[in-house]
Amino acid sequence: MEKPLTAHIPKDGSWLRLKDYERVGGYQGLRQALKMTPKEVIDMVKDAGLRGRGGAGFATGLKWSLVPTPDQIPGPHYLIANGDEMEPGTFKDRLLLEGNPHQLIEGMIIGAYAIQAEFSYVFLRWGYQFAEKALEEAIHEAYEAGYLGKNILGSGFSHELSVHISAGRYICGEETALINALEGKRANPRAKPPFPVVSGFFGRPTVVNNIETLSNVPHILSKGVSWYKSLSKCEDGGTKLYGVSGKVKRPGLWELPLGTSFREILEEHAGGMRDGYQFKGALPGGGSTDFITAEHLDVAMDYNSVAKVGSRMGTGTIIVLDDKTCVVGMVLNLEHFFAQESCGWCTPCREGLPWTEKLLLALENGEGKMEDLKIFDDLTRYMGPGNTFCALAPGAMEPLQSALKHFRADFERHIHEHRCPWK
């Protein structure tokens, strides 16, 4: 099984230096891209079926193709790699940033060439300090070798790349809040449309892509579309970094074909449930997705298949719920996080999430009422898609509304028994 993204990450905790990266084919994708027109590069990424790995799964080639060309809108264009990885349960980009920063840098230069961007930024989560160090050194190596800067490899294309350290908020992972933060403003999301591809950083055409997404790009260029499509088990291309946390025998992260079954990830790679624990459910793609249950164990972990069972692939990092963990407590923990991370800009999110947290806390403490369950339904509607500025609140309500659907009896037991039955 090929693992292009992770195969060459050193096992000793260090990162792949430029010479070692080049030895395993590094920067061949960039060399290939620079022989092609920007449109040909975009078409290749489109044909490869690369979908955004940040959570939403938007087609990468399509996103790039929506950027007006410099002929259409002259002046600076920008590319931003979103490394503000803060989705609960998600720790996949960290591995790529810390272990193979050149792969990301190469993907960024190719992406920048495709959209004709003069500047790009890695917007990095504050806590990722090893990644910062590796990235800064790798960027230095790339400049020294002529992969960055003026007239890259004699192609006439010039590009500057730098790292921006985020102040550390979940909302900065939302691309328009991220752009505001990068401009030095408060990290409030902007209304979309206009999408950043048209009006982003300082109002200029800007592409924001996730770290894992960009790390795929060099391989598409160097090894081709059919090879890339053959890596996956579904209609979209490539591999995926899948993670598992919770009461499993071997929590961790694995690069597997996109579309690997949930059962295989859980039972073979994560080693199944720890002794004495039963699988009860899981959030398949980070904290802001809907629970799936035992009846969905055979779902293929790809964007379309997970959507068909009522959830989202999200970041592909699974959080497992077991029979000895209180689902109300788990959701309370998540809603506490989301309420704290709301930027406070739009009323439904600012008011709705703390209210949700308060009701859940009362419920967990045995002070809940049956009417509260109805209020949760109302709050889910008020904070639903279209009623808020960004996806934070609708995403935050996904674990709660799906927990109420699949595990309603657990909520009712808290009310009837006036206590948490799991404590």
Choosing from 8, 87, 345, 346, the residue that interacts with ligand NAD (CB under 6 A) is 87
Supply the minimum distance, in Å, between the C-beta of residue 387 and ligand NAD.
Answer: 14
Exposed e or buried b for every residue in 235-257, given b needs 16+ CB within 10 A? ebbbbbbbbbbbbbeebebbbbb
Cα separation, 114 vs 98, whole angstroms:
26
3-state secondary structure at position 210: strand
Closest among 321, 334, 319 to 242, alpha carbons compared: 319
Token pair belonging to 319: 């959080």
33 is a site residue for ligand NAD (CB under 6 A)? no
196 is a site residue for ligand NAD (CB under 6 A)? yes
Residue with tokens 């164990």: 297
Could you tell me how many residues make up the chain? 423
Backbone torsions φ then ψ of 30, nearest 5 degrees: -65, -45
315 is a site residue for ligand NAD (CB under 6 A)? yes
349: Cα separation from own chain's centroid = 21
Nearer to ligand NAD, 82 or 260 (CB): 82
138 is a site residue for ligand NAD (CB under 6 A)? no
197 is a site residue for ligand NAD (CB under 6 A)? yes
391 is a site residue for ligand NAD (CB under 6 A)? yes
Nearer to ligand NAD, 94 or 159 (CB): 94
165 is a site residue for ligand NAD (CB under 6 A)? no
Cα separation, 127 vs 323, whole angstroms:
32
Supply the minimum distance, in Å, between the C-beta of residue 27 and ligand NAD.
Answer: 26
Choosing from 116, 288, 305, 402, the residue that interacts with ligand NAD (CB under 6 A) is 288
208 is a site residue for ligand NAD (CB under 6 A)? yes
Nearer to ligand NAD, 15 or 128 (CB): 128
Instruction: Please check whether residue 247 is in contact with residue 273, taking contact to mean a CB–CB distance below 8 angstroms.
Output: yes
Q: Which residues in the 230-269 window bind ligand NAD by CB under 6 A?
A: none
3-state secondary structure at position 209: strand
Instruction: Return the range that interacts with ligand NAD (CB under 6 A); candidates 137-145, 147-155, 373-381, 389-397.
Output: 389-397
Number of Cβ atoms within 10 Å of the Cβ of 405: 12
Choosing from 66, 153, 307, 420, the residue that interacts with ligand NAD (CB under 6 A) is 66
Cα separation, 79 vs 74, whole angstroms:
15
15 is a site residue for ligand NAD (CB under 6 A)? no
Instruction: Return the range that interacts with ligand NAD (CB under 6 A); candidates 160-168, 173-181, 322-330, 404-412.
Output: 173-181
Token pair belonging to 371: 């009417």
Contacts 24+ apart (CB under 8 A), 366-369: 366/414, 366/417, 366/418, 366/419, 366/420, 367/418, 368/411, 368/414, 368/415, 369/415
311 is a site residue for ligand NAD (CB under 6 A)? no
Nearer to ligand NAD, 88 or 368 (CB): 88
Supply the minimum distance, in Å, between the C-beta of residue 232 and ligand NAD.
Answer: 19
420 is a site residue for ligand NAD (CB under 6 A)? no
Cα separation, 54 vs 143, whole angstroms:
27
Cα separation, 113 vs 209, whole angstroms:
14
Angle subtended by helix axes 101-115 and 38-48, to nearest 10: 120
Q: Residue 20 contacts by C-beta under 8 Å, 6 or more apart in sequence?
A: 8
From residue 38 to residue 57, what is the string marking binding to ligand NAD with x (rule CB under 6 A)? Answer: --------------x-xxx-
Choosing from 63, 102, 169, 406, the residue that interacts with ligand NAD (CB under 6 A) is 63
Nearer to ligand NAD, 344 or 421 (CB): 344
286 is a site residue for ligand NAD (CB under 6 A)? yes
* Count of residues in contact with ligand NAD, rule CB under 6 A: 26
Antiparallel, parallel or unpaired: β 239-245 and 317-322: parallel
284 is a site residue for ligand NAD (CB under 6 A)? no
Choosing from 98, 106, 132, 175, the residue that interacts with ligand NAD (CB under 6 A) is 175
360 is a site residue for ligand NAD (CB under 6 A)? no
307 is a site residue for ligand NAD (CB under 6 A)? no
89 is a site residue for ligand NAD (CB under 6 A)? no
Instruction: Please check whether residue 120 is in contact with residue 79, taking contact to mean a CB–CB distance below 8 angstroms.
Output: yes
Residue 241 bridge partners (DSSP): 255
Supply the minimum distance, in Å, between the C-beta of residue 350 and ligand NAD.
Answer: 18
Give the residues lining the site for ligand NAD (CB under 6 A). Answer: 52, 54-56, 58, 63, 66, 85-87, 90, 173-175, 195-197, 208, 286, 288, 312, 314-315, 390-391, 395
